[in-house]
Amino acid sequence: MPIGRGWTYRLRQLIAALTARVRPDERALLARILNDEQVRLFEAMPRFDQRHSLDVYYALARAGYDHPQLLQAALLHDCGKVDSAGRTIPLLYYGLIVILQHSAPRLYIYAARHGHGPLRPFAVHAGHEQRSATYAAAAGSDPVVVQILRDYATKRSTPLTSALRAADDMH
């Protein structure tokens, strides 16, 4: 997502993150389509990542996708933004990550590779897609869900990962 979208866009993103909510009917939806371990993965994410994942799910559904494993993958595609100790990426770091990825990519890579202490969120972010697949597998996800997430992490283009990426990029 280009930083060049403008500061008003980024400000709207920040406000959306700060005010993110998950409605009770959406919690019921999660309980219907995810197993208990998958729900725990979803709930471990910060509320703004939960909202984002639901928005990706809804974008796919509105586009006519009814593939159950793709829809589950949409809900879990960012669960790897929580590290193995249960720590999330603080909201402030998301802005820094976007700026570095687009303005100083080598600095982002350095921070991700040396991700200890205050640089830990960069390492968590850099590895989150693969970690999402690993977590989904450990949560007993259908192998197709895990494969979608693995393909997504490796940028392998399939009809399902292309749909997921398009929906993710919209939100």
Q: Percent of the chain having pLDDT more than 90?
A: 85
pLDDT averaged over every residue in the chain: 95
The tens digit of pLDDT for each residue in 115-144 reads 999 999 999 999 999 999 999 999 999 999
Q: pLDDT tens, 7-51? A: 787 788 888 888 999 999 999 999 999 999 999 999 999 999 999
Q: Which pLDDT score is estimated for 45? A: 98
In this structure, are residues 26 and 39 in contact, taking their beta carbons and an 8 Å threshold?
A: no
What would the pLDDT profile of 64-101 be if each residue is shown by its tens digit?
A: 999 999 999 999 999 999 999 999 999 999 989 999 99
pTM metric for this prediction: 0.92
Alpha helices in the chain (DSSP H): 7-18, 24-33, 36-44, 47-62, 68-76, 91-103, 105-113, 120-126, 128-138, 143-153, 159-170
Secondary structure class of 82 (helix, strand, coil): strand
pLDDT at 1: 45
The residue assigned the tokens 């989150």 is 128
Helix/strand/coil for 88: strand
What is the rounded CA–CA span in Å between residue 171 and residue 166? 9
pLDDT of residue 110: 97
| CB within 8 Å of 137: residues ≥ 6 apart | 146
